[in-house]
Chain A
Amino acid sequence: MNDVNGSGPLEAGVRADGSASGYLARRTLPLSVEFARQFRRRRTLVMFGLLVALPWILVAAFKLGAGSAQPGPTLRLSDLATEGGLNFAAFALSVSASFLLVVAVALFCGDTVAGEAGWSSLRYLLAAPIPRDRLLRQKLVVAMAYSAAAVICLPLTALLAGTLAFGWNDVRVPGTGETIAALEILPRFGVVVGYVLVSQFVVAALAFLLSASTDSPLGAVGGAVGLVIVSNILQAVEALGPPREFLPTFWNAAWLDALAPQPEYGGMARGVAVSVTYAAILVAVAFRRFRRKDVVS
């Protein structure tokens, strides 16, 4: 402990910007570091565990409760879940997209900055120094990557679980009960998963904005989930008329149109427009606020 002072080079490579040797702003907080920092968290692992386990739980539920449910007069997605792997994946996505995936995305994006503030590690990252814009950017990229992994993980696991449990069959669509060839629906399935991801952008962006604004991870996650709940309530009020179309969650179920015999992409296009709009502005506000913020955590 005593010879620590003897060895280090003093001001060996001071540069014009005053930085220490080897420091480059654009090399700070590499994505791999941020991935590693977030990955080992119990939260991350529990969430992925849940997303992977859910399809198997659903499979078990369908196997145990087989035959007890009477199909109603119209075929619903849930009536068709046991038709095959693709049907099952669509069902699993439909039951989880409206809430479970929202929570997962809000968690990954809402905790990312506020969590650091909560641990007090944010100030040391900023003093490292990681420029504020870069810190947010890297964190946003990683949070979105985890969110995307969550959104993709669930239908893929469901596809696997459903295929093992119910076989690789053609898709029967709800309502008319028509069947569509599995290979024909597969690319549409990719579109659906992509759309579900894009439709979560609003939640992600809001959670991220709250995360950059508050020191409380719970507040950031809860605020974003709260928005989804309020928006879901409002969109059920048809009396609100056309303004409902601009509610952030209004088009979230539009991906069901892609699984109809004649796929219809109008609703999804609008959903993408609304989602991208909100997300762009919320993320920009997040950057702007974080730049000016006094970090006191």
Chain B
Amino acid sequence: MSRGGKPAVWTALVTVLVLGVATWSLWPSAPEVREREQAITVIDGPDDDRRVTLDTSFFPPAEGGRAPAVLLAHGFGGDKRSVREEAVRLAGEGYAVLTWSARGFGRSTGEIALNSPDYEVKDVRQLVDWLAGRPEVLLDADGDPRVGVTGGSYGGAIALMAAAHDARIDAIVPRITWHDLADALFPEAGGRGPENGVFKRMWAGLFFGRGGLPQGPAPSPSGPADPAGAAPRPLTAQEARCGRFLPEVCDLYQRVAASGRATPEAVRALRRSSPISVPGKIRVPTLLLQGRRDSLFTLAQADANARAVAATGAPVGVAWFDGGHDGGNGETDWIHEQTLGWFDRHLRAGAGETPVNSPFTVTRDGGRDPGTRRPVQAHATSGRYPGLSGTVRETVPVDGPAQKVAAPPGGSPASISSVPGLGGAGGLGGLGGATALNVSADMAGQSAHFDSAPLTTPLQVTGSSTVRVRVRPGDEATGGSGRGTPAREAILFAKLHDVTDGAQTPLLPEGLVAPVRIGIPEGGAGEAAVTLPAIDHRFDAGHRLRVTFTTTDLGYSTPSAPAVYEVELASPVLAVPVDPSLRAPSGGLTWWTWTLPPVALAVAAALLLTGRRRRREARDPALADLPLRISGLSKAYRDGEPAVDGLSFTVERGRVLGLLGPNGAGKTTTLRMLMGLIHPDAGEIRIFGHRVVPGAPVLSRLGSFVEGPGFLPHLTGRANLELYWRATGRPAEDAHLAEALRIAGLGGALDRAVRTYSQGMRQRLAIAQAMLGLPDLLVLDEPANGLDPPQIREMREVLIAYAARGRTVIVSSHLLAEVEQTCDHVVVMHRGRLIAAGPVSELLGGRASTHGPGPRLEDVFLDLIGENA
């Protein structure tokens, strides 16, 4: 690393850090969203004579000014607080958001009327009036605010109902809600309507139960709850029975729940609370977000809503997301994105250049997050919503013999498809959060199976499959003895299983089941075309489709009288909807997958090419015979202190030059520059006329031993020298290895690992390494360190003889006696500067001795460096 560059790097790093922190702390944070709580009094009822105080919260748009408004409704059993987070988010996006506790919920007064046009719908109309008077709300006309409505479940239904009854509403996003409450609670998959439906008793019980008991302090009938909190009082009989329901609604529920059959009157009442009662009246852009895991308000409910709205010509979007009343992921962020996208497009002028919403979106399994290995969702989209019968209908042969199934007395034990309230425990309006449990179980003797052959290719089913089933009394063969008349009708629960041939239990996609009530004519067989639950499910190759009919289901009312039926398929085919146009955006080979590596390679190439040092004229033929010329050489330490300062000298061929100087004189730094290890700040070094740069070829004529030996400790001395020579790439015969080894004089130790060597042994091995190839210029730094006196003398002779043949030797040392005896020339350095150079004899001759008979180099040296005062 360049020592000079390091402070710059640190400065840059610190600067970036400081800038980052500053930007982060000064970055304009999202404007804070305020909440204004307000009690709004509304008048409703069939005769407009009921006064109800609604507990509301208004969130002005975060950006100020006039903005479109959003009415955000809560789910059943919740209140305005359960949608607060969502409201804050929408207000943060620049909408004026109004949330309220519906009548009968939270601190609002009044009773629950199930989104009745006479009650809740009138309330919402007056909330729209209130919005029209707000200075924060954008108006389409006087008294007509630009407003959208959204909400889940109970709140989704009020969005639809309000849009039908109030033309001022401009767009709606109802979630996980119903089209026909009667059909949702009394489904019948044979198309015979809710009057013949099978009572969804567990869901209905939960649904009505949430409104049954007052939540929090019981409100006084005339106004909002006392903030101080009224003292708890025992419930009256009416409250215990009906909670906060309107008595008519309560009575209705009690009647149908007790009988398990929907009376025409009940169907009429439930439909008054349902979009089915207002055909052709919802004419605003509608985005229907329905949960795939929802056994309460199924995908079929959203489908019916979509068809109803589309019939008026208004734009409709449908999405089946991973959520619903039975749990699932909930996809809170995605739901927010979609809702925001819809409102941006339909409530804001000029917005929505790139639509967020697709006409049809289905959330599918997107594999796992590569970082956390947690499941993620993929969103498959299509340009057209095909309904529940797909764009294509495929027929899959299913087969099986006629099978006898028993309906147990009392309907118990019951098969289980899903357990209402388990997954969606977060509240009916909540989007759930727990992953759905696969609790599905079929009771033995109660179910009939009809299997397809194993699939040869995967089959993605998107919508409702249909199958024709035939039922006849199963105990006719025995004459129905003693059991009274054979059953006149059969209730069956149809399911579509995904079956693998193996130990695994069959999978019931989303735990959905379709109840069907089949009338059986006397002495004959009843037949029905059964619409199976709408799902989006991939049946993999090798799997089978299995149509199952069971006589019981935990979630539904079934007759308590025992019966036996014989079930067979009226035609051995299953019609399966598929939608090949529904595709997830390609698993995302995003643009950067292809662009990043080439860009990185280009950057890398640029880094490498610009990092090259330009070679200046490297060769000076005039100096080809001069082993070493150093001119103007300077190098400063990182602190700016010069280590070598304007050093110049030359070394002639055949010389043994002593480089003298006290510790810190700059000798070693000079030698490192000579070896091309350090870049000089100024000046140059030429060996035989060739400039020394890192890796200059001329360095191959230099043998060096500087600042101690450097060997691979795990290898033997011999292996070290051999590998070193092979690393130079030169022919083995040029190494003169035997001679070098003789100089090292290590004997048997040569074949031991270097880590076992003494300091002196390493020193000798290193000098031998420097002499490998008999270099023309040999540089030895303190060669006598660690050698004993006989070895020192031997070394001296070797060096003198080495130079005698025309080679050149440079010995750096602080031992004056050593230099005096070995060298013919000396260069004296002190504090990085040259202070004397010349033949030893000349230096000695020029001085008079101060301490004794003859001049000694030590005296000269001390004189020169000014220590001999």
Chain B residues with Cβ under 8 A from A124's Cβ? 704, 710, 724, 769
Asked whether B699 is an interface residue with its Cβ less than 8 Å from the other chain, the reply is: yes
Chain B: which residue is nearest A135 at the CB level? B695
Please tell me which one of the listed residues B601, B608, B727, B804 contacts residue A29 in the complex, with CB atoms under 8 A apart.
B727
Please indicate the chain A residues that have their CB under 8 angstroms from the CB of B696 in the complex.
18, 129
Residues of A within 8 A of B724 (CB): 124-125, 128
Question: What distance in Å separates the Cβ of B1 from its nearest Cβ neighbour in chain A?
Answer: 5
Shortest distance in angstroms between A128's beta carbon and chain B's nearest beta carbon?
A: 4
Q: Which of A19, A30, A41 has the most CB of B within 10 A?
A: A19
Interfacial chain B residues near A134, Cβ < 8 Å: 695
- A29 proximity list for chain B (CB < 8 A): 727, 729
Q: Is B679 positioned at the interface, with any CB of A under 8 Å from its CB?
A: yes
Q: Cβ of B695 and Cβ of A25 under 8 Å apart?
A: yes
Residue A188 lies at the interface, judged by CB distance under 8 Å to chain B: no
> Which among A11, A34, A129 is the interface contact of B776 at CB below 8 angstroms?
A11
Given contacts A123-B707, A123-B710, A284-B604, 11 further A-B contacts (CB under 8 A): A5-B805, A5-B807, A17-B697, A25-B697, A34-B727, A40-B714, A128-B700, A131-B694, A253-B373, A271-B370, A277-B599
Name the 10 nearest CB pairs between A and B, nearest first: A120-B710, A27-B729, A18-B698, A284-B604, A131-B695, A19-B697, A8-B774, A18-B690, A288-B611, A121-B710
A186 at the binding interface (Cβ < 8 Å): no
Q: How far is the CB of A278 from chain B (nearest CB, A)?
A: 8
Binds B, one of A78-86, A99-107, A150-158, A243-251: A243-251
Asked whether B597 lies within 8 Å of A273 as measured between CB atoms, the reply is yes
Contact A251–B370 (Cβ < 8 Å): yes
Residues of B672-703 whose CB lies within 8 A of A: 672, 675-679, 687-690, 694-702
Report, as a range, how many residues of chain B touch the other chain. 35 or more
Do the beta carbons of B607 and A285 come within 8 Å of each other? yes
Query: In the bound complex, do residue A281 and residue B3 qualify as a contact, i.e. CB atoms below 8 Å apart?
Result: no
Which A residues from 1 to 24 make CB contacts under 8 A with B? 1-2, 4-11, 14-24
B603 touches A120 (CB 8 A): no
Binds A, one of B11-19, B44-52, B134-142, B731-739: B731-739
**Whole-angstrom distance between the Cβ of A289 and the nearest chain B Cβ:** 6
B2 touching A126, Cβ below 8 Å: no
Q: Which of B676, B679, B688 contacts A127 (CB 8 A)?
A: B676
Chain A positions within 8 Å of B605 at CB level: 284
Alpha-carbon distance A172/B245, docked complex (angstroms): 55
Interface string of A263-294 (1 = CB under 8 A from B): 01011011111101110110111011101111
A236 within 8 A of B: yes
Chain A 104-142 against B: per-residue CB contact (8 Å), 1 yes, 0 no?
A: 000000000000100111111111111111100000000
CB pair A122 B802 closer than 8 Å: no
Does B372 count as interface, using CB distance less than 8 angstroms? yes
A126:B798 contact, CB within 8 angstroms:
no
Contact, CB under 8 Å: A6 / B371: no
CB distance from B110 to the nearest CB of A (A): 41
Q: Mark the stretch among B100-108, B529-537, B585-593 that contacts chain A.
A: B585-593
Distance of A279 from chain B, by nearest CB (Å): 8
Total CB contacts across the A-B interface at under 8 A = 277
In the complex, A97→B773 CA distance in Å?
47
Q: Give the Cβ gap from B589 to chain A, nearest Cβ, in Å.
A: 6
Give Cα A175 to B706, complex, Å. Answer: 63
A288, B712: Cβ atoms closer than 8 Å: no
Of B590, B679, B690, B710, the most chain A CB neighbours within 10 A belong to B710
Is B612 positioned at the interface, with any CB of A under 8 Å from its CB?
yes
Contact residues in B for A9 (Cβ distance below 8 Å):
774
Min CB distance A263 to B, Å, is: 11
Q: At the interface with chain B, which of A53-61, A221-229, A254-262? A: A254-262
A169 at the interface (CB under 8 A from B): no
Q: Mark B716-744, 1 if CB is under 8 A from A, else 0.
A: 00000001101111110010100100110
B22 within 8 A of A: no
Chain A residue numbers with a CB within 8 Å of B709 are 120
Chain B nearest CB, measured from A262 CB (Å): 8
Residue among B676, B714, B801 making CB contact with A126, cutoff 8 Å: B676
Query: Contacts A19-B701, A264-B587, A283-B604 hold; do A40 and B715 have CB atoms under 8 A apart?
Result: yes
Chain A residue contacts of B611, Cβ below 8 A: 287-288, 291-292
Asked if B27 is at the interface (CB within 8 A of a chain A CB), the reply is no
Interface set, chain A 147-184, CB cutoff 8 A to B:
177-178
Chain A neighbourhood of B700, CB < 8 A? 19-20, 23, 128-129
User: For B1, B372, B500, B619, which residue has the most chain A Cβ atoms within 10 angstroms?
Assistant: B1
Q: Is A235's CB within 8 Å of the partner chain B? A: yes
Shortest CB-to-CB span from A69 to chain B, Å, is 18
| Cα–Cα distance between A256 and B707 once the two chains are bound (Å) | 52
In the complex, B355 has a CB within 8 A of chain A: no
Neighbouring A residues of B521 by C-beta, 8 Å: none
Within 8 A of A (CB), among B641-695: 672, 675-679, 687-690, 694-695
Which residues of the other chain, A, contact B771 by a CB distance below 8 angstroms?
4
Q: Is there an interface contact between B694 and A132, defined as CB atoms closer than 8 Å?
A: yes
**A-chain residues with CB within 8 Å of residue B608 when the two chains form the complex:** 284, 287-288
Chain A residues with Cβ below 8 Å from B698 are 17-19
B769 → A minimal CB distance (Å): 7
CB distance from B454 to the nearest CB of A (A): 13
User: How far, in angstroms, from A251 to B369 measured CA to CA in the complex?
Assistant: 9
User: B739 — which chain A residues lie within 8 A by C-beta?
Assistant: 4, 7-8
Please determine whether B715 and A129 come into contact, CB atoms closer than 8 angstroms.
Answer: no
State whether A20 touches B604 (Cβ < 8 A).
no
Q: Which residues of B contact A177 (CB under 8 A)?
A: 502, 504
Listed A/B pairs (9) with beta-carbon separation below 8 Å: A5-B805, A11-B776, A14-B701, A25-B695, A119-B710, A123-B672, A177-B504, A238-B374, A277-B597
Binary interface profile of B, 573-608, with partner A (CB < 8 Å = 1, else 0)?
000000000000011111011101101110111011
Residue of B367, B702, B729, B806 most packed against chain A (CB within 10 A): B729
Shortest CB-to-CB span from A212 to chain B, Å, is: 8
B775 within 8 A of A: yes
Query: Which residue of B has the minimal Cβ distance to A285?
Result: B607
List, in ascending order, chain B residues with CB within 8 A of A256's CB.
368, 373
**What chain B residues lie within 8 Å of A17 (beta carbons)?**
619, 690, 697-698
Contact B807 A235 (CB under 8 A): no
Q: How far is the CA of A146 from the CA of B793 in the complex (A)?
A: 46
Least distance between B593 CB and chain A CB atoms (Å) = 5
Contact A296 B672 (CB under 8 A): yes
* CA gap between A22 and B732 in the complex, in Å: 10
Q: Does A230 make an interface contact (CB < 8 A)? A: no
Knowing A126-B695, A127-B675, the reply to whether A4 touches B798 (Cβ < 8 A) is yes
Q: Does A96 reach chain B (CB closer than 8 Å)?
A: no
In the bound complex, residues from chain B placing their C-beta under 8 Å from that of A250 are 370-371
